[in-house]
Every structure is written in structure tokens, then in C-alpha cells.
Structure 1
Amino acid sequence: MGIIGWILIGLIMGALAKSALNRKGGTWLGSLLLGVVGALVGGFLGSVAFNRGIDGFWSPWTWLLAFVGSVIVLAVWSAISGRSKA
């Protein structure tokens, strides 16, 4: 998967993770970075837990792992930075 694919998935999954955890504020760049890091974390956890990582751009498994990873990264980032839900 190319860098454009990673950026696109990162942007979408970062925004969805913010919506899922009901977080407000931040920038699109922050969502992008959160999503890309989340996709990497999700791919790593998927390869460790299920012996299956990030496949291709159109794979549902890729999108699921990227979303779960983004939610995890956002929750950890919010806990570390001390941000509230508002």
C-alpha cells in the first residue's frame, strides 16, 4: 500500500475515531497523524494477536485494524494529555 493510501486511511480513521469517542476540537493534521499511527498500531496488534496485519487498501481487515488502532491511540493520547471529552 502506498503513502497516499496510508494518508487517506489515516485521515478517515482518525476522524472516525474522534467521532466514536465523542472528542471535539483538534486539527485535520492531528486526526491524520492519529489515524496513521493508529493504523500502524492496529496492524501490529492484528499481526501479533491474529497473525494477520494490514493487507491492502480495499481489505476490510485493513480498515477494521486501522479503526481499532486509531481508537486505542486516541484514548491513550487523551489520557496522557489530560484532555476532557469537550
Structure 2
Amino acid sequence: MSILAWLLLGLIAGFIASKLVNRTGSGVLLDIVLGIVGAFVGGWLFNQFGSSGVSGLNLYSLAVATVGAVVILALYHLIFGRRAL
């Protein structure tokens, strides 16, 4: 995938994960970073359970990246705590 596709997938997955985990976005940059890291983590997790990981810019890859981003975001909040807005 191109860098632009990774950024787009990361932005969308990070945004969805932020809304699922803490109901508010974590900021565009953090959403992108968590989404991209989540894509790698989700791909690794899915490979460990016998499924394919991120395969391109499609709905399955978005779901994989979102699952990974939720895991990363939960760990982020566990380590750094939730900040009151």
C-alpha cells in the first residue's frame, strides 16, 4: 500500500477506535498514529489467529486496523490514564 493509503486507513481506523473507546477523538495526529500502529497490531493479531492481516484499502483492512487501534488505544489509556476534557 502507498503511504497515502496507510495514512487514510490509519486516520479512519484511529477515529473509529477513539469514538469506540473514549467517545471523543484524541486529536487528528494521535488518531492517525494510533490507527497506523493499530493496523500493524491488528494485522499481527489476526495473523496469530489464522486470518489475513491488512491487505489493502478495503473494509476488511479497515476492520482489522480498527481492532488493532482499539487495542492500542486501550493500552494507551491504561498507561497514560484518561484525561478529563
The DSSP-based 3-state class of the residue aligned with 2:52 is coil
d(CA) in 2 for partners of 1:35, 1:51: 19
How many percent identity over aligned positions?
A: 39
Give the superposition deviation at 1:83: 1.4
Number of aligned residues: 85
Aligned to 1:73: 72
Following the alignment from structure 1 to structure 2, what is the Cα–Cα distance between the partners of residues 15 and 74?
A: 11
Gaps of 5+ in 1: none
TM-score normalised by the chain length of structure 2: 0.88
| TM-score of the two chains, using structure 1 as the length reference | 0.87
Aligned CA RMSD, in angstroms, stands at 1.7
In the alignment, structure 2 segments of 5+ residues that lack a partner are none
Q: Point out 4+ residue stretches in structure 1 off by more than 6 angstroms.
A: none
Structure 2 equivalent of residue 27 of structure 1 = 27
Letter in 2 for 1:13: A
**Which residue in 1 is equivalent to 2:60?**
61
